[in-house]
Amino acid sequence: MPILKALLLVPVTLLPIINPLSTAPVFVATVGSNRVLAARLARQVAVNSWIVIVTSMLIGTYVLALFGISLPIVRVGGGLLVASTAWRMLHRTDDDDVHAKAAQETVELTQAEIVRRSFFPITFPLTTGPGTIAASIALGAQIPTTPFLYFAGAVVAASGALLVSFVLYFVFRNSTAVVAWLGEVGMLVLTRLMAFILLCIGLQIMWSGWEELNAISH
């Protein structure tokens, strides 16, 4: 059960931040009705996203440690950023300017240019942006530091990131059908629900860091 909980924590935390449904219209505008190109680009975006997430989880905390930032502070800061991202999602009324601009720029790209730009802007910043990277670092900060437990935690974290990549691949490959099936109301309701869950997760991560800081101070 702890392993299953840790495994599911990664997609449950990151998918609301990534919100592939909000990027799906951009993806549709990029590939159009070309199913072969959609499958190829979706696979590459999923691989790129997995690399970004795993790297952030396993290395991010050590990079911050070079600057003298402790893990409890990372948890508090990461949890705060996750919660603030969820709060903005709950109160978003207009379309994201980044999404709109990316859709406008990619409509006129050739197939070769689309493949070359699979990382930017679709993978970064639309799919795995700063919020996703910060949340991944906060999740990585919860991996134990002892060698055996760190290895086990790294495997679980990588597996959780793999689940995220599968979801991204499925949504992007079928983006045309997904966007048409949900409609505007469906996407709005689902986005708000995911945002509320994300807000609770962010507060939980922040509270865990706060408890560790209190334990250290006493």
The domain spans of the chain are 2-217
The pTM of this model reads: 0.71
Question: Half-sphere exposure of 18 toward its Cβ, with a 13 Å CA cutoff?
Answer: 29
Q: Express each pLDDT in 183-199 by its tens digit.
A: 777 767 767 776 787 68
- Both tokens of 70, joined, read 């402790």
Cα of 153 vs its chain's centroid, Å: 19
Q: Is it the case that residue 165 has pLDDT exceeding 70?
A: yes
- Both tokens of 66, joined, read 């070079």
**Quick one: pLDDT at residue 142?**
83
**Quick one: pLDDT at residue 111?**
57
Q: Express each pLDDT in 75-130 by its tens digit.
A: 787 778 777 867 876 776 655 555 545 544 544 455 566 656 678 767 876 788 77
**Quick one: pLDDT at residue 107?**
47
